[in-house]
Chains A and B, each alone.
Chain A
């Protein structure tokens, strides 16, 4: 079994998972223009953009020798529900014989879920199995903890010191095998970040931007034009609505994860689940506002219905909550210069609005 998986965010976590179970891994290449072209060419025109990119990733991994694709299913009503099946069918049609292991939330179909788990578990004992899952979970948490600091400090590190530490951190995390090692690396990286002479400015001079939207375009930086890095390079702090560890929580421990709380915050705008992460997107805006953020950037893949629905509400929410929101639609034609122009103009606007409000408060 030569396993591959979609390229989404910090892929080393997925790679580690399969490595711990002694599977052979074909790393999906970071999505490039070629990946996108390939995906667009092999996908139905109406499919949403992440579907096309992932299609391209699969084709590249298959070319590199992958014969098994592990992915998550997600459930309807949006298209995520049939991603796996449709990818498989298209690959079949093009004569690629690959196995799909599609993980849906366990409560959807328990026996199917167990069957999939056993495939991953392979020859390991159940004891090792649980131990490995725990390692992966801790690893995801540790990486996300570090990344959250990076997303903040990188705003004040124009010469790239923070990025360097972050890059090295990922290499270090890639080498771990035990929970102790994860903790060791996490502590060390945090200490390294602390030792940089970066002083967070006074609260009034900090600008915080939240990124919301569909999970794939929010998490995969090669697809969103490295938006977090760009925002940081303009001197603002960032946080996004999706992190891998949160996703694990929400998928496998839905009632303990944060997402229930977040969805509730957006209740007045979207009452029922419409697929994707529309409810979370909207709830997050409220959450960011509550937490003193100054602006929100919404990423919507082209062809994504749930985010189209949330987008249609942004004007109203921005007004109700008095928080600026910029919505960016992402597809294969997006021009980087155009995103930069809009992001820069948006940040100017956020800054001016912030200082206007401060002046208003000062003068009563």
Chain B
């Protein structure tokens, strides 16, 4: 079997793992909800990968992305740890070289990436306002008593348009209730909500940027046909949803891991499948070194400290990095 590269995307809502081969074919793909135990989920995912590929594999490169990338990067022994914007842009431009605009909406954040000639030229990120993300929809779906999976399809059945104030989750909610009282149907309300989310996205992320085709829509929320339709209406163009829309970040980082290995010519630093048997412990303490009193996070593997983060001044993380460097220099 040829070379295999692993891509792991640790988001706040989902954890995604993919394995690709030399030709970027997807050999394995896993999308799981992040229940707050990323390390366990990753271990579990890697175990599944091993079974799927009949134990016959050797991993040649590992990349980790997403908001939890640092920690899992240490644990896996990643060859590359990179932000999710670069990872997403990488995968999308691979599948669609003519990409002009990438809309990415996940559970708790959303991104916009502008692409020209196959490379990103501008981006925007929203991590503070829930009104432009999947959790907004989750929340409203719950209120309306509709499973989120049916949400998008229902929106397409709406006969009339109703405008729902979508600036913020709280206002949207009260506006939604009053519109319901006016007698709008559930599907009309849902369509209104989808459009409110897209309007929000446009106001917060796109602002006065000039968008260009092709338009690619990805991330967990891309499964929602109502949102897709609302985007299409907003930009007046066709919206493309990639086949692997919900694991694009993982695919991108796997590709980046491959590129990194090719570039450096090094062997992977992947810790191996045995990590599924290791025990990891994450603890935190408040540093009393100065008035910042940072919450420092310490990661241990089988009792040995492998990473420390969260210190603003580098007092703790530098120690570990230093040790690693020394080990590398002495070649151990």
Which residues on A are within 8 Å of B, measured CB to CB?
Answer: 29-30, 32-35, 159-160, 225-226, 315, 318, 324, 333, 335-338, 340-342, 344-346, 348-349, 352-353, 356
A315, A318, A341, A353: which contacts B84 (Cβ < 8 A)? Answer: A341
Chain A residues closer than 8 Å to B325, beta-carbon distance: 159
Inter-subunit contact A315/B208 (CB<8 Å): yes
Instruction: Tell whether B127 is near chain A: CB-to-CB under 8 Å.
Output: yes
Given contacts A315-B209, A324-B121, A32 and B86 within 8 Å (CB-CB): no
- Cα distance A324–B291 when bound, in Å? 36
Which of the listed residues A32, A225, A318, A333 has the most CB atoms from chain B within 10 Å of its own CB? A32
Inter-subunit contact B86/A345 (CB<8 Å): yes
Chain B residues closer than 8 Å to A160, beta-carbon distance: 318
- Cα distance A33–B292 when bound, in Å? 5
Inter-subunit contact A336/B312 (CB<8 Å): yes
Chain A residues closer than 8 Å to B119, beta-carbon distance: 349, 352-353, 356
Chain B residues closer than 8 Å to A340, beta-carbon distance: 83
Smallest Cβ-Cβ distance to B119: which chain A residue: A352
Inter-subunit contact B120/A341 (CB<8 Å): no
- Cα distance A159–B326 when bound, in Å? 10
Which residues on B are within 8 Å of A, measured CB to CB?
Answer: 67, 82-86, 117, 119-123, 125, 127-128, 207-209, 290-293, 312, 318, 325
Chain B residues closer than 8 Å to A348, beta-carbon distance: 82-83, 85-86, 120
| Interface of B (DSSP majority class) | loop
Task: Quote the shortest CB–CB distance from A217 to chain B (angstroms).
Answer: 16
Inter-subunit contact B82/A344 (CB<8 Å): yes
Given contacts A33-B292, A324-B121, A337 and B86 within 8 Å (CB-CB): no
Smallest Cβ-Cβ distance to A233: which chain B residue: B314
Q: Which 9 A-B pairs have the closest CB atoms?
A: A32-B291, A345-B85, A352-B119, A348-B86, A32-B292, A34-B291, A341-B83, A344-B83, A345-B83
Chain B residues closer than 8 Å to A344, beta-carbon distance: 82-83, 86
Q: A333-B128, A345-B84, A345-B85 are in contact. List 20 more A-B contacts (CB 8 A).
A: A29-B291, A32-B290, A32-B293, A35-B291, A159-B325, A160-B318, A315-B207, A318-B122, A324-B121, A324-B122, A340-B83, A341-B67, A341-B83, A342-B83, A345-B86, A348-B82, A348-B86, A349-B119, A353-B119, A353-B121
Inter-subunit contact B123/A345 (CB<8 Å): yes
Chain A residues closer than 8 Å to B123, beta-carbon distance: 345-346, 349
Smallest Cβ-Cβ distance to A327: which chain B residue: B124
Inter-subunit contact B120/A352 (CB<8 Å): yes
- Cα distance A138–B235 when bound, in Å? 58
Smallest Cβ-Cβ distance to B318: which chain A residue: A160
A33, A159, A352: which contacts B293 (Cβ < 8 A)? Answer: A33
A34, A336, A337, A349: which contacts B121 (Cβ < 8 A)? Answer: A349
Smallest Cβ-Cβ distance to A334: which chain B residue: B128
- Cα distance A341–B68 when bound, in Å? 11
Chain B residues closer than 8 Å to A30, beta-carbon distance: 290
10 interchain pairs (CB within 8 A)?
Answer: A159-B325, A315-B207, A318-B122, A324-B121, A324-B122, A333-B128, A341-B67, A345-B83, A345-B123, A346-B123
Which of the listed residues A324, A333, A335, A345 has the most CB atoms from chain B within 10 Å of its own CB? A345
B125, B291, B293, B318: which contacts A341 (Cβ < 8 A)? Answer: B125
